[in-house]
A and B are shown apart, each in its own frame.
Chain A
Amino acid sequence: MSAPHTESAPRQGDQVLGPRAGRWATPALAVGVLGLAAALGLGWQRGDGFSRLQHSWLVACAFFLTLSLGGLFFVIIQHLTRAGWSVVVRRVAELVAANTAVVALLFAPLVLGVLLSNDGLYPWADAERVHGNPLLSAKAAFLDPRFFAARCIVYFAVWWLLGRWLLARSTEQDRVSGPEPTLALERRSAPAMAAFALSLNFAGFDLIMSVNPTWYSTIFGVYIFGGSVMSFFAAAVLALRFLQSRGFLTREVSVEHYHDLGKFLFAFVFFWGYIAFSQFMLIWYADLPEETFWFKTRMEGPWAAVSWVLLFGHFVLPFLGLLSRHAKRRLALLTLWAVWLLAMHAVDLFWLVMPSAETSGVLVSPMDLASFAAVGGFWIFSLLRLARGRSLLPVGDPRLPQSLAFENF
């Protein structure tokens, strides 16, 4: 069997961002720094011991973290199933997936706050409050500041190691001629998936569900997973469109690949809807006070409107909009839906976290935008630094020709 990966592969130099990455990274860094300054200033001005700011910071961190985790899932599953179609879009996913260290750094202050018994975000961080509440003291062994910090370290370590390893082996395949790196990726992707599933499931409980420490839902990790993967596909469409508009991957990524990304985007819109409905309906139907209060907060007052926005914006409209083959192959339309769904993913996380900080009036604060700009700026800066010297195409991948020739039926 000949090695076909030499025949039609484009030259590596064509697909490296190089100095251009630096040109885009500087404004991203500036946005990050300005956002951070603004967020801190607004948080200080609020005078609530940074409680509100911690909430917006969590939403912003969770947004960019879930993009990376969705990317991680995508990359692992591609290796696990030995997928051919996705090779041309996989490097972008690998870069996104490997970009978790910056979120770990940005998230660290929140963990530090917990360690210092600051209950501005996680009420259980305050030992006295836990003692006074039987529901909280029942789970004090788990929601313990030091144990929480240790778990966070484990989660971020797992994600960072997985992401970096996947990227490293894949770029190694760019350089060597034998298929060993690809085979290693295939062999280890199954345990990688197990590590990913375990860490994501429990991280969902820890980072987001425990903002409401008395509330619990076993499906919560799956809910976060659904949103993560959906947001990743939306982000992948946007990233590829951006790169193509700057002249990268123009010959390699075709409408066929967008079509497949669109199918997955559609599938995970549906999956998210399925999980969200299951969680809501079961709690609504059983009507147990220890569970329903969580939805009651979100179905009354100003939050009711946000819930409706989610129902229609995160599920009904994109479901109808992405249903037809046409919508997935018309790139302007697909891009529009990708932007829309990323916005909805932010609304979703906001809806999960913020009701414990905002119960009336205008729910959004300039702090939210500032936090978003800060985390986003740093995240993109770090992403560009990762991407700078690497080819945007896995030029050495043995299945690259299959991906280049891929056509939908």
Chain B
Amino acid sequence: MSATHSEVPTLHGMMAEFADERSLIAGIERAKADGFTDMEAYTPVPSHDVIHALGVKNRFAALVFCGGLLGSCAGFALQYMVSVELYPVNIGGRPLNSWPAFIVIVFECTILFAALTAVIGMLFLNGLPQPYHPVFNVPQFARASQDRYFLVVHASDPKFDARTTRERLAAAGPLSVAEVQN
């Protein structure tokens, strides 16, 4: 770790701080009009309009469905294997493959697998847990989880240039503009 201290930090991007959602969206629209494409917004509350403005899309409902399906199959297979193959015992004269009695656990396994898929899928796709993120290097960013809205134009954007990007962002009337060091 200490070896990297001497290196000059590269730039992650340029960050603008906004007071509310409306000004953030205006900022995003402006940045898009300026030709920036590689951006990220940070908000204290989920906002559909921000997500919409950024054009973010994803779907993992299908993934969760597959998880659920796997759960039902696993649940039934477990019960069938145990009750019919591994440990066949006559219980109250009920058939070994008592499917009406198996439905409950099939259902529970479906929900369990699907829910785990949803949460783990969300964390995985979001890259969480993430021990380090450059945005936290900006002191104002502590308020991103409270009451401020942030827009970061990434340094990887083809049109990015530290000075002009700062000017462009400042033109949108943010509360502050700061460089985000890596």
Contacts and interface: CB of A to CB of B under 8 A. Distances in A.
On whether A and B touch (CB less than 8 Å), the answer reads yes
A409 B103 CA distance: 33
B31 to A, nearest CB: 25
B101 interface: yes
A274 to B, nearest CB: 10
A409 B65 CA distance: 20
A324 B59 CA distance: 12
Nearest to A277: B103
Interface stretch (A30-38, A230-238, A278-286, A380-388): A278-286
B163 interface: no
Interface in B72-114: 92, 94, 100-101, 103
Contacts of B65: 323
B57 interface: no
A281 B48 contact: no
A325 B61 contact: yes
8 contacts: A277-B100, A281-B100, A281-B103, A284-B100, A285-B94, A285-B100, A285-B101, A324-B61
Interface in A239-290: 277, 280-281, 284-285, 287
Contact of B48 (A277, A324, A325, A409): A409
Contacts of A409: 48
Contacts of A323: 65
A161 to B, nearest CB: 41
Interface of B: 48, 61, 65, 92, 94, 100-101, 103
Contacts of A277: 100, 103
Contacts of B61: 324-325
Contacts of A287: 92
A216 B61 CA distance: 42
A296 to B, nearest CB: 14
A404 B3 CA distance: 62
A287 B100 CA distance: 13
A302 to B, nearest CB: 21
A26 B100 CA distance: 49
A122 to B, nearest CB: 30
Interface string A304-345: 000000000000000000011100000000000000000000
A179 B7 CA distance: 70
A287 B93 CA distance: 10
A287 B92 CA distance: 10
A287 B94 CA distance: 10
Closest 7 CB pairs of A and B: A281-B100, A284-B100, A409-B48, A277-B103, A285-B101, A280-B100, A285-B100
A150 to B, nearest CB: 39
A133 B65 CA distance: 53
A298 to B, nearest CB: 14
Contacts of B101: 281, 285
A284 B103 CA distance: 13
B45 to A, nearest CB: 14
A5 to B, nearest CB: 27
A384 to B, nearest CB: 41
B116 to A, nearest CB: 19
A409 B100 CA distance: 37
B110 to A, nearest CB: 12
Contacts of A280: 100
A281 B92 CA distance: 15
B66 to A, nearest CB: 13
Given A285-B94, A323-B65, A324-B61, 12 more contacts: A277-B100, A277-B103, A280-B100, A281-B100, A281-B101, A281-B103, A284-B100, A285-B100, A285-B101, A287-B92, A325-B61, A409-B48
Nearest to A286: B92
Interface string A147-161: 000000000000000
A376 to B, nearest CB: 35
Contacts of B48: 409
A281 B48 CA distance: 44
A288 to B, nearest CB: 13
B21 to A, nearest CB: 16
A338 B65 CA distance: 23
Nearest to A324: B61
A17 B132 CA distance: 65
Contacts of B103: 277, 281
A32 B178 CA distance: 77
Nearest to B65: A323
Nearest to B104: A281
B58 to A, nearest CB: 14
A103 B97 CA distance: 45
Contacts of A284: 100
A277 B107 CA distance: 12
Contacts of A325: 61
A243 B103 CA distance: 41
Contacts of B92: 287
Nearest to A284: B100
A309 B168 CA distance: 65
A369 B94 CA distance: 40
Nearest to A320: B65
Nearest to B92: A287
A165 B105 CA distance: 46
A17 B126 CA distance: 53
A325 B65 CA distance: 13
Contacts of B94: 285
A276 to B, nearest CB: 11
A409 B52 CA distance: 12
